[in-house]
Structure 1
Amino acid sequence: MPVVATARRLRKAMSPPEARLWVVLRRLRTQGYHFRRQHPLFGYYLDFVCLDRRLIIEVDGAGHDEERDRRRDAVTASAGFRTMRFDNASIRDNLEGVLEGILAVLEAAAPTRPLRGHPPRGGEGE
């Protein structure tokens, strides 16, 4: 199955904790943080990713393969991404705490993309 079709299928079949977290992450766009969901990267489908801040957020259910998660985390870390993992119970019982943790990491991370436009030429902007 093509990558885009698989990502679309995964977006439509999000678990309730993923859907709940997605609602909160979408609201962060007003603060300048853009998240993608079920984003294909390095052969994996990431639950949520903010490419500008190189932050991956994974929601771990009961049947997660920890060895596969370690391999994926190593691949993404080598490309400069940080992964935060939350279990379903944390999202269900402590969504505010989860959001605070995510915001703390986002605010501490420097954007990876330059600001729009080119810097002023020498002598300009003074």
Structure 2
Amino acid sequence: MSKIKKRIKPTREQAQELNRRLDAVVKAGHISNLYCDCEVCQVLAEQAELMGYRTNSTIKQPSDKWDRRKREYERRRQIDAVKMACLAGQGLTSAEIGGKMHRSKGYISKLAKEFEITLATKKRGRKLCH
């Protein structure tokens, strides 16, 4: 069996230093950036590695997988909007369009609002007698 390295509890001074570095990162406004390679974030990563909180402090570059997924999603929405506009031009309601496109009624309504497409509505109320 491989030996697991046990993390040693940091001293009070080390904990205070780590907190100061954390405060510097928060003050710089880099709290939501996972792949930041600025000097402040690098120093914090090195300190965390020295204290045993982190095993590898190398900054990884974000993969293009998420950007590609976002582009595919936007492209799919645009294609759906074109199909929806064609069906709306035929006078179909959102429920009928959703049935033909195999999408939900809420998704169709949201796309209609975003791309400013007017959908037909069924007349409600009492039917006229004769």
- TM score, norm. by length of structure 1: 0.24
RCO (CA 8 Å, sep 6+): is it higher in 1 or 2?
1
Higher strand share: 1
Considering only CA atoms, is the larger Rg found in Structure 1 or Structure 2? 2
- TM score, norm. by length of structure 2: 0.24
